[in-house]
Chain A
Amino acid sequence: MGLMTSGALRKGMLKPVGELLNYSRKYSLWMFQWGLACCAIEMGAALAGPRYDVMRLGVIPFPASPRQADLIVISGTVTDKMAPAIKRLYEQMPDPKYVISMGSCANCGGPYWDSYSVTKGVDQIIPVDVYVPGCPPRPEAFIQAIVMLQERIQKEDPADRWQGKGWEPIIVGG
């Protein structure tokens, strides 16, 4: 971990090691599914449907607990009652960890923007890496979110990620 945080992996002889690490992380994203509402159906289509099959991209959607996960997908309506549970499970994930917010509800509250019980965007409780707009998004959009996240992981410097430098969210199609 000292290597990661010191920035030694981006210069000199260790630079190829850093790139190899990034390449390995990119194609072994263990994904914790968080289906909260109807977007979970589209996510299921993208994960398990033979037409889309996200596992060919190296995304493994079956970790037994958030402690084994690299990526969490919030798909669906986040309510104020569910928000503490989301934050707690997110905090149990080991670094480096990534968040995809899938669908209008998770992005900003969506059609429930004025509801008494809906959190107006999951980014109010956890930082989001990729926003997927749509109500619900097509599985193609979800897969594009995965691909864009993999591109970011390939280019990213683990030290910067660790220190939260240069963090900017990706918006699919935006």
Chain B
Amino acid sequence: MADDEATSAANPADGVDESAPAAAVATIDPPAPSPENADLLARLAAEIGAEAVLESAEACGDLVVRVALDAWANAAAACRRTLGFDYLCFISGIDWMPMPAVGGDDATTDTSAPTQPTETTYGVAGSAGRFQAFARVLSTRVARSGLTLKVDVPTANPHLPSWCATFPGADWHERECWEMYGFIFDGHPSLRHLYLPHEFEGFPLRKDFPLLAREVKPWPGLVNVEGMPGEADDEAEGGES
């Protein structure tokens, strides 16, 4: 446990260092936050410390804040106890790795998603690496108020603090996040499978999880559709015969 704390304490520093090249990759210019969101950000920074707020952005009128890993649990407590966000909407994960080509790098059979990016891009508020966890909290008393919190999860050692002590409802969200992405929530009462069979191996929502069916059989969705009767090709064939 002492080792975990040592690594998690060291990681935010890495995150700060790596965020500069990450921001260079993702060229998303955050608009200036609205006065309400600026006030919310200032209050959050006052609660968890200004150095723990790594980056913030406004998306669709909503504040998105990327916080340091060791402030993740404090952020939950601050949201619930001080900032008035009494409802946890969800906790989930993100894998920013580009989708690998099915069947190896030279495979060209998978045309299911021709718009898949080949370079790593990050969403609003940036990211320090491949894995992120994010959560959304709402207020049930103030209309149209919400806050999305993001945290960078180390790739090699994906540990982050659990929110169960603050929001008991985080239990199942974190179990799902663990079985889908392999994030280990330190302090969670019982990390075990929720949706998948208990003997399931691997973390299926990681981008490098192999979909064995696609390895065996190429994507069958792309078919040559026959022309409708009366179209040019059809008439040409009719003329020949």
Contacts and interface: CB of A to CB of B under 8 A. Distances in A.
Contact of B197 (A81, A113, A115, A120): A81
A120 B202 CA distance: 19
Nearest to B213: A114
Given A81-B196, A81-B197, A117 B204 contact: yes
Main DSSP-derived SS at the A contact region:
loop
B20 to A, nearest CB: 36
Contact of A80 (B197, B202, B209): B197
B197 A114 contact: no
Interface residues of A, number: 9
A109 B220 CA distance: 13
A79 B202 CA distance: 17
Given A80-B197, A81-B196, A81-B197, A116 B214 contact: no
Contacts, number: 22
Contacts of B197: 80-81
B177 to A, nearest CB: 16
A114 B204 contact: no
B211 A116 contact: yes
B211 A81 contact: no
A10 to B, nearest CB: 44
Interface string A126-140: 000000000000000
Contacts of A109: 213
B61 to A, nearest CB: 34
A117 B213 contact: no
A114 B204 CA distance: 12
A114 B196 contact: no
A120 B214 CA distance: 13
Contacts of B202: 116
A145 to B, nearest CB: 25
Contact of A117 (B196, B214, B220): B196
Nearest to A116: B204
B213 A81 contact: no
A113 B213 contact: yes
Contacts of B209: 116
Contacts of A120: 213
Which of A109, A116, A120: most chain B Cβ within 10 A?
Answer: A116
Contacts of A117: 195-196, 204
Interface string B205-225: 000010101100000100000
Nearest to A118: B213
B174 to A, nearest CB: 19
A90 B17 CA distance: 59
A116 B214 CA distance: 11
Interface in B174-218: 195-197, 200, 202, 204, 209, 211, 213-214
Interface string A108-126: 0100011111001000000
A92 B234 CA distance: 56
A81 B200 CA distance: 10
A107 to B, nearest CB: 15
Which of B195, B197, B211, B214: most chain A Cβ within 10 A?
Answer: B197
A5 B31 CA distance: 79
22 contacts: A80-B196, A80-B197, A80-B200, A81-B195, A81-B196, A81-B197, A109-B213, A113-B213, A113-B220, A114-B211, A114-B213, A114-B214, A115-B211, A115-B213, A116-B202, A116-B204, A116-B209, A116-B211, A117-B195, A117-B196, A117-B204, A120-B213
Given A116-B202, A120-B213, 9 more contacts: A81-B195, A81-B196, A109-B213, A113-B213, A113-B220, A114-B214, A116-B211, A117-B195, A117-B196
Interface of B: 195-197, 200, 202, 204, 209, 211, 213-214, 220
